[in-house]
Structure 1
Amino acid sequence: MNHSSAARMEAACSLLAESERRYVLYQLANREQGHIEDLVTQVAAWKREEPAEAIDRETRQYVYVSLVHNHLPRLADYDIVDYDLRSGDIVLDHGFDDIKPLLEQFRQTEAVSEIRTGPALR
């Protein structure tokens, strides 16, 4: 493995080490796009291991701030997602294909059974 490949692999592992980023990508993987509000609700539900309907406003707000100010910008920096906060639209970008095999490995080991047993990533 050359230095460039090793650096890309290290960056991918670092990005996927955070559950919120993985959860966003699991949601987008089979749809290729999503809306921030839907992603916030599902990420919060998986994080708290509760049904989406049980997630309160405070938890949604916390996850929203975390995604907007931390996780989405990091994913965008590596061309994994592209997002527009004005419209709330989030789409997969061309860099997603580079991390998809690693993301699938992470998915198989997630503690949240709904994630583990979900459909394989497209």
Structure 2
Amino acid sequence: MDQRSATRMEAACSLLSESERRYLLYLLADERSANLEDLVRQIAAWERGDPASTIDKDGRQHVYVTLVHNHLPRLADYDIVDYDLRSGEIVLTEGFDDIKPLLEQFRQTEAVPEIRQRPAL
């Protein structure tokens, strides 16, 4: 493995080390685009272990803040997503294909059964 490949692999592992980022990518992988509010609700539900329909505004607030101020900008920096906070739309970019196989490996080991049972990426 050359230095460039090793650096890209390290970056991919670092990006996928955060559960909220993985959850976001699992959800986007199915449709390639989604609305921020829908993603926030489902990610908060997975983190709490509750149905998405029961997550209130306070339960979503932490996830929203970390996505907007940390995870989305970082994924955009690596050309994995594009997002528009005004519309709430988040779209996977071509860079996602580079981490897709590794993300699938992570998916198979998630503690949340619903995540593991979703179709393969």
TM bin (shorter chain): over 0.9
User: Offset at 1:114?
Assistant: 0.1
AA paired with 1:110?
Answer: E
User: Offset at 1:62?
Assistant: 1.1
Mapping 1:18-37, distance limit 5 Å: 18-37=18-37
Verify: 1:49 aligned to 2:49, yes or no: yes
Q: Take 2:59 and 2:16, find their aligned partners in 1: how far apart are those partners?
A: 22
Q: Take 2:6 and 2:49, find their aligned partners in 1: how far apart are those partners?
A: 34
User: Offset at 1:106?
Assistant: 0.1
Mapping 1:53-92, distance limit 5 Å: 53-92=53-92
Question: 1:38 — aligned with what?
Answer: 38
Q: Take 2:51 and 2:59, find their aligned partners in 1: how far apart are those partners?
A: 13
Q: Structure 2-normalised TM-score?
A: 0.98
Q: Take 1:68 and 1:96, find their aligned partners in 2: how far apart are those partners?
A: 19
- Percent sequence identity over matched residues? 74
AA paired with 2:87?
Answer: S
AA paired with 2:95?
Answer: G
Aligned-partner SS, 2:34: strand
AA paired with 2:36?
Answer: I
Alignment gaps of 5+ in structure 1 = none
Runs of 4+ off more than 3 Å: none
AA paired with 1:58?
Answer: D
Q: Structure 1-normalised TM-score?
A: 0.98
Alignment gaps of 5+ in structure 2 = none
User: Offset at 1:41?
Assistant: 0.3
Verify: 1:109 aligned to 2:101, yes or no: no
AA paired with 1:100?
Answer: K
Q: Give the CA RMSD over aligned residues.
A: 0.5
Instruction: Give the paired residue count.
Output: 121
Q: Take 1:42 and 1:113, find their aligned partners in 2: how far apart are those partners?
A: 14
Question: 1:5 — aligned with what?
Answer: 5
User: Offset at 1:55?
Assistant: 0.9
